[in-house]
Amino acid sequence: MNTIRQPRPLLTGFSVYKGLGSSIYSLFAIRVINRFGDFVQLLLVLILTIRLGLSPKEAGIFVSASIIATMVGQMVIGMAADRWGKKPLLVLCQVMVSLSYLACALSVALRPTIIPYLILVASPFRGGTAPLTNTMVADFSPQERLPHSFSLLYLGTNIGVALGPMVASLLFARSLLLLFAISAVLLSLSTLLLLVTVPDKRVQQPSKENRQAKVHIPPILWLFFFFIALYALTYGQNSFTLPLQFNSLYGEVLGTGRYATLMMVNAVVVLVCTTLLTAWTHRLGQLVSMAVALFLYVAGYSIYAFCSSFSLFLAATCIWTLGEILMATNSNVFLNAYANERIRSQCNAWMHVFSSLGHSLAPTLGGVVLLATGYRQLWLLACGICFLLGCGYIALNKYLKS
């Protein structure tokens, strides 16, 4: 099966999102609300240490347990959704997270010691929301419009992420109870929107003969998942190695401020360029677009390896952010176009699990390399991995065309 390719549209900008259907627009709004209201996860370490008084060791244990629970939730809920339907399970997941956060709000005054455990209870259900939303986007989008649908969903993610931290920091400084309560209310609002505006679309049941034949994830997708894990391993250095490098170059105060500026530039480039890149590159096909993305990472990380000027860091960030946009949109399109619709939720879950695994291992890899060598060698290693991945996507594209 070849990846989706189609002629470049005459119009660019937000016009590429016309005609996607009311369900896609609703899922976009739900993603914006969910990511905007994800206050708890944004400030999890600070909540555990500063507000609840846990030691760094205890907080680390809870954060690690939360990551593991999230991965388990992604896998279990993704597999269950292919059998019982995506919308009912997505509603269940959001309701459970909302109730857990509401219980956290009530516990702030009554029994704050149980809050970490309530957050842990919410983690698997929170993990299940992303693969379910992705699968529903694929279900409601015509195959030729998948690039536009996932581009819109990615844009919604970043709109929420861009606005959420500002509100979260204000709530964190004023009231932990309000932080949990408003997060629960926003999740309830998005759940209500899901119930009212998005129909429950079920996969057409196969014939009796086909039902007896079990559908397996093809080997090509397992290779794709492995590529995603390696990509996440390198991408994770942006949040682990980069702030350490800035503190080393500019000092703790100036380094922290400049790193925050860098991440703001990353968010602005995503919001400005997502629609344009979707219009300009989707005729290349997903695998070629992802190869281009990895080569953009090579260019950006090469600058990180050799520069000390903040203006060059800004330029490098703009370069690899273009790669981030291409990876985020095209990886979802390729997966959902290639996966059998009977196991589409399971495939989305596996992709998130492999991505989470790569992100969780990124600090370990970064720490080991930094202990043995230095920042330049670590970024060059990341460049090498990205270059090999880019070549791998090109080879995979040629294989699928043959």
Q: How far apart are CA 319 and CA 152, in angstroms?
A: 21
- 15 found inside a domain: no
Residues 117 and 228 in one domain: no
Domain count, the chain: 2
Out of 144, 167, 201, a domain closes at: 201
Residues 27 and 139 in one domain: yes
Pick out the chain residues at pLDDT < 70. Answer: 1-14, 202-213
Domain co-membership, 240 together with 178: no
| Dist. CA 244–CA 369, nearest whole Å | 13
Q: Distance between alpha carbon 160 and the CA centroid of its chain, in Å?
A: 12
Count of beta carbons in the 10 Å neighbourhood of residue 355: 22
Same domain for 79 and 181, yes or no, is yes
**Rounded Cα gap, residues 28 and 7, in angstroms:** 25
Answer yes or no: do 139 and 241 share one domain.
no
Specify the DSSP class assigned to residue 20: S
Interior angle at CA 313, CA 311 and CA 318, nearest 5:
100
- Residue at 133 is within a domain: yes
Shared domain check, 229 and 129: no
Q: Would 230 be classed as within a structural domain?
A: yes
Predicted pLDDT of residue 7: 45
pLDDT at 134: 87
Do 160 and 286 belong together in one domain? no
Do 188 and 233 fall into the same domain? Answer: no
Q: Are residues 123 and 248 both part of a single domain?
A: no
In a domain, 273, yes or no: yes
| Exposed / middle / buried, residue 81 (Cβ in 10 Å: 0-12, 13-18, 19+) | buried
Are residue 330 and residue 388 in the same domain, yes or no?
yes
Could you tell me how many helices (H) and strands (E) the chain has, helices first? Answer: 16, 0
Burial bucket for residue 368 (CB in 10 Å: 0-12, 13-18, 19+): exposed
Instruction: Please report whether residue 9 resides in a domain.
Output: no
8 belongs to a structural domain: no
**Same domain membership, residue 151 and residue 97:** yes
- 169: in domain: yes
Structural domain for 367, as ranges: 219-401
The pLDDT value given to residue 204: 58
User: What local confidence, expressed as pLDDT, does residue 213 receive?
Assistant: 58
User: What pLDDT was estimated at residue 6?
Assistant: 47
294/335 same-domain check: yes
- Asked if the structure places residue 391 within a domain, the reply is yes
CATH number for the domain including 42?
Answer: 1.20.1250.20
For the record, the structure tokens of 1 come out as 């099966």
